[in-house]
Each structure stands twice: as structure tokens, then as C-alpha cells.
Chain A
Amino acid sequence: MALNIIVCIKPVPDPQYYDKVSIDPQTKRITREGIPTIINPVDKNGIEAALQLKKTYGGKVTVITMAPPNAVENLREALAMGADEAVLLSDRAFGGADTLATSYTLAKGIEKIGEFDVIFCGVESADGATAQVASQLGEWLGIPHLWNVFSLENLEEKTMRVKTKIENGSMEWEVNLPCLFGVARQLNKPRFISAMGIIKAKSKPLATWGKNDLIVEDARLGLTGSPTKAGEIYTPDLRRKGELLSGPLDEIVDTVIEKLRTAGITIRTASTSCSAGEGGA
């Protein structure tokens, strides 16, 4: 049974460099100079899941993103991984969107793509980490959706069994297609891009759609369509006094034990294990 699979991806600044991100004191905006943009790492788990499903059942994998024009590069990477087609939703009108407006726009893009069986999203993006687009996209499309999927069990007819992670355990579900999954890192190991994949990617279809290519309500797009509004931004000050403990390591460790005790932790050491007759409150 050939499946039409859609994967939503987001280009993000490479998380390796987040400690270098800062706020320009004059413009009060976030500076991310020189940090390369990559496909949001957990979205690759979504691409991998899609490619594995396609391998087993046949079908087509389409990758979609709502992003600025240079996201074309990241879409090509997804095509090189093995996706068949790519769609970029890009328009000034989409800018400033919060998760509700973003998921709305993605939903409209997906409606234009046409019929689908499964949609994969990553659980959260490395930069914003709101972890909401997957669930909200499912709502806009009116399909069953699950977040934090770490295991895809099997697919029979038009029903899939999956597991989601919860605190100290998991839940098992039966979902009817079409459906949407927000997938977690544990789901699979995304494949590396191969040379052959890069060559094939060149000729795979990549479309760019703006507002006028979609059937949308302007009021739901971008900043206008975003119920949440951003206020001040600042970098938290996490500094502490950082006193260096020096001297022989043995003594340093004794100091550590002492400081832990002062903080209220009960610690038994050789010198405190009393023999009968020794006092001790």
C-alpha cells in the first residue's frame, strides 16, 4: 500500500553554537552571526522515519518547511537524504508567526500538496523549543496526532500502533491514518547523506509557494495571526562566585565533604563511624 508521507522540517541555527548567541545591546535583537543553519536535528528523525516507511510500503516522501528563501539549501539536504519532493513556504506575510500561525500556514501548504497518510514532525525545535507546532498542526488538519513518539510498531490496513514516552514509562496507541506524529530522538538514527543522494537531489522537484499560491485567510498568517506577542528579551545571569579550591587533592575532597555537610547533607565517613562508647549528637 503506497503511502504519501509528509515531513515538516525547520531550519535552525546549529545548536552547537548556542552559547555564542547574544543580544545586541543597541538593537536589542538576537545576534547569531556566523552560526550555520542546519535542519533541526530531531526533524531528521522524522525524515528517517518517513524514508523507512517508504522502503517498507512504497510511496512518496515530501518535505515541507515554512522559512526564509535560503531554506532551499536545507530542503536539498532532505532530498539528498532520500525525500522525493520538497516545498518551501516563503512569504513576507508569514513572518513573525507564533506556533498557531506557523502550524496554520503549514496546514495550508499541506492541503495544497494534497492527500497524505502520515505526517512527521520533530518534537521540538532546538532554537525556540516551544514543542507545539506538531500538536497544533494536527488540530488545523483535523487529524489524530501524537507527540513524543519513540516507537512505530506496525501498520495494518489504515491503522498504526505507536508508543509515546511519558515520565517513567510509555503509552501505547492505535491510530487511524491519516495521522500526525511528533517524533522523539529515540525513534531512530538518521542516515548520513550519500554521494548518490546528492546527485539525485539535483533533479528532484522543489517548489516555492507564497501566500498567493495558497488558499489562506490573511488574518491567520504571520504576526497578525499570532495570539502570542513577544516582549523584552534578555540573557539570564547565572554567575556564582566560583572560588577555586586548591592544594592537595585529598584535602580538597575533605573540604567538599565538609561543605556538603554544612549544606545539610548527612555523610558518613570513617572518622564519623563511631565505635561503641564514642559520643556524637
Chain B
Amino acid sequence: MKNKIWVYAEQVESALDRVTLELLTKARDLAKALKGDTEIAAVLLGKNVKRLCETLADYGTDVIYVGESDALELYNPILYSRLITDLVKQEDPDILLFGATAIGSELGPTVAAQLKTGVAAHCVDIRINEKGLMVASVPSFGGKILGEILCPDNRPQMASVKPGIFLQGEKEPKEPAIHWLDTTELQPEKLSLKAIRIERKALAGVPLDKADVVFCGGYGIGTKENWDKLETLASRVGGAAASTRPVVDEGWAPGEEVMVGTSGKSIRPKAYVGFGISGATHHVCGMKDSGLVISVNKDDKAPVFEVSDFNIVADATKVLDLLMEKIQ
């Protein structure tokens, strides 16, 4: 009996979310740790999504289940979850992974409830133990505590993972078998929940999760002006500006999309420079995999200095002003 590891291939507006490729990479690692043969499959639902099969094939899928239909153009938890649940009941995978995006964070547990199985949420690591069971590491208390979660009896063993936690690996092209799901009975207009429209903003500048260098502002930057300096400096060096939650709450930073932390984004730039950040665990968990970490804080006792490579005890404004002067 083959092991089956499935990945929900999230797509929005016919573009694959990067987390799908990260999960497929992880699936490959897990497959190596399992005894016997493993089949890796992706589940892809949407409209005009056929062409995404190519990318999924490049990342090592053996099977792709595709639900292609106009009715699936806009994500709908009722439609999507039913298709996935029915498919899972039919094919009985061992492991099912979702990206913990806004959609995945809802779809994963919904499917799990329909299947009466367990899902380890927002995990930061997944491995296979000596019994062949999936073990997920899940943070709690803002990341201060990591706990291992298993789903020993119920199937599939499910987990959700935020984008940027796992690395997207090299391509490993295969020629997957493609199974088309029956989408003839879908009637979105008759549902008690209807998606009306989707609105996306085009992002200006380098996306936070792709930036090689991130300048991050914490509460200690004190003013919107200092935030603007961070953005300017970031754009001068081809990087991105990020912040902690208080900076968003104060209205200095534009919104949650630049927030780094357990309830925000996880980043792993080549270099991270933090200004006025105290170093609370829930933020540090979001940037701990950065290459070089430099922190500026005027409080010499700030906890952030224990999790940085280089420490500068100084006023963030002064350092920002000097950087503005020197960097062109």
C-alpha cells in the first residue's frame, strides 16, 4: 500500500500561492522518511487552473486532482471543502497539508471537521517519527512554547503551515497522472454562502517575503517620519520595510501586510536590521531565520540584543538619519 501525501494547491485568480511549492518540497522530504513508496498529490480547484499543472508537475507531484469549473472561480468554503472531503474519502491519503493563508486557515479546519480528523495548525516544522507518524511542531504563547502534535488514529493526518516557514526547493519534474474531478453538480448560486467579489491591491516595491534585506521598525521608532525613512532606505537598497504590531496600530505603517511575527509574516532575508524593536518572542519567531541580524535600540537591556548578531545601543532616529545621509 502506497503512502499518500497530499498538498492543497492554493491558487487565487489563477496564480499558485508560493506556499504550495514550499509544501510540495516538504512533502518530498517526508516521503523520503516514510517506509515504502509514497505518492505525492496536489489538489487544485478553480477556474482556468489547468495550466498550473505544469508548475505542480515541476515540483514533484505524482498525481494532480483538478477541479476545473466556472463555478469554482471564486473560493467558496462550502464548495471547495465538499470537493476535497469527498475526494479524501475516496482516496484515503495519509497526510494532507494546507498552506495557512487566509483561505487555507479556514479551509483546512473545515475539511478536518468534515472528516473528523485532526489538523496541527500553523506548524513551524513537520517530520516523520520512528513509528511512521507525522509529528508537527506548533507554537503557542506567541511562539514562546513549541509543542509537538500528532494525529495517531484519525486520517488523514493534517497540518497547516504559513508561507515562508518552509523553503521552496529545487524543481524535480515528474509526469503526473491528472484526474479531473466531477464539477457538473456544483451550483454556487444556490448556496447559503456566496462569494460576490475579490479585490486585490497591487503591491508597490519588493514583496516582503522576497526581499533580500528588510528594515524593520518597532514601537521605538516613535514617529511616522521614521517609518517613512525606513521605507525610503529599503527602496534605495532594493529591500522592503516591515514592522511590529504596535507600529501598525499607531498608524505609522500602512497595514498588517508589513507585519512580521507569529500573527504576521515569517521572513528569512539575507539581512534584517531592526530599529526600536524590543525583541518580544512573537516578533522574533517571524524573523529568526534571517541571515544577518542587526538591532538598534536605545535600551541596553532590550531582549532583542540576545537574538541579534550585532547590537547597537543608540537612538533609532539618529541611526536612521545617518543611514539616510550615507545610503543613496
Q: Interface residues, chain A, CB within 8 Å of chain B?
A: 13, 15, 18-19, 21-23, 30, 98-100, 103, 124, 126-132, 135-136, 138-140, 143-148, 161, 164-176, 179, 182, 186, 226-236, 238-245, 249-250, 252-257, 259-260, 262-270, 273
Contacts and interface: CB of A to CB of B under 8 A. Distances in A.
A147 B193 CA distance: 12
B77 A166 contact: no
Contacts of B122: 129-131
Interface string B133-151: 0010011111111111111
B113 interface: yes
B114 A139 contact: yes
A172 B192 CA distance: 14
Contacts of B309: 240-243
B218 to A, nearest CB: 14
Q: Which of A103, A164, A238, A268 has the most CB of B within 10 A?
A: A238
B205 interface: no
Given A167-B101, A256-B312, A260-B271, A126 B142 contact: yes
Nearest to B304: A242
A18 B144 contact: yes
Interface string B150-184: 11111000000000000000000000000000000
B237 A260 contact: yes
B323 to A, nearest CB: 6
Interface residues of B, number: 95
Main SS of chain A's interface residues?
mixed
Interface string B87-113: 000000000000001110110111011
Contacts of A270: 326, 328
A243 B312 CA distance: 9
A97 B163 CA distance: 27
16 contacts: A18-B282, A99-B119, A124-B263, A129-B139, A147-B105, A165-B102, A170-B199, A171-B195, A171-B196, A172-B197, A173-B195, A229-B151, A242-B309, A260-B213, A260-B271, A265-B238
Given A126-B142, A169-B200, A252-B319, 16 more contacts: A99-B119, A100-B117, A136-B109, A139-B110, A144-B193, A171-B74, A171-B198, A172-B196, A174-B194, A232-B148, A242-B311, A252-B312, A255-B310, A265-B239, A265-B270, A267-B236
A240 B120 contact: no
A103 B116 CA distance: 12
B192 A144 contact: yes
A164 B118 contact: no
B280 A19 contact: yes
B102 A21 contact: no
A169 B293 contact: no
A265 B213 contact: yes
B257 A171 contact: no
A108 to B, nearest CB: 14
Nearest to A271: B326
Q: Which of B119, B153, B262 has the most CB of A within 10 A?
A: B119
B165 to A, nearest CB: 13
B323 A253 contact: yes
Interface string B25-68: 00000000000000000000000000000000000000000000
B299 interface: no
B193 A146 contact: yes
Interface of B: 12, 17, 74-75, 77-78, 101-103, 105-106, 108-110, 112-114, 116-122, 135, 138-154, 191-201, 203, 212-213, 236-239, 256-257, 262-263, 270-271, 273, 280-282, 284-285, 288, 291-294, 303, 305-314, 318-319, 322-323, 326-328
A168 B197 CA distance: 14
Nearest to B142: A18
A130 B146 CA distance: 13
A242 B312 CA distance: 10
A19 B143 CA distance: 9
Contacts of B213: 260, 263, 265
Q: Which of A136, A232, A236, A259 has the most CB of B within 10 A?
A: A236
Contact of B105 (A131, A144, A234, A235): A131
Contacts of A127: 140-141
Contact of A254 (B195, B199, B326): B326
A177 B78 CA distance: 15
A227 B153 contact: yes
A281 to B, nearest CB: 19
A190 to B, nearest CB: 14
Contacts of A132: 105, 108-109, 112, 119, 121
Nearest to A172: B196
A270 B303 CA distance: 34
A247 to B, nearest CB: 10
Contacts of B106: 135, 146-148, 182
Nearest to A233: B147
Contacts of B327: 257, 267-269
A73 B144 CA distance: 27
Contacts of A144: 78, 191-193
Nearest to A243: B310
A227 B326 contact: no
Contacts of A239: 306-307
Nearest to A230: B147
A229 B102 contact: no
B78 to A, nearest CB: 7
Given A19-B303, A168-B257, A229 B270 contact: no
A128 B112 contact: no
Closest 8 pairs between A and B when the two form their complex, measured CB to CB? A227-B118, A231-B148, A228-B118, A144-B193, A132-B109, A139-B113, A169-B200, A227-B154
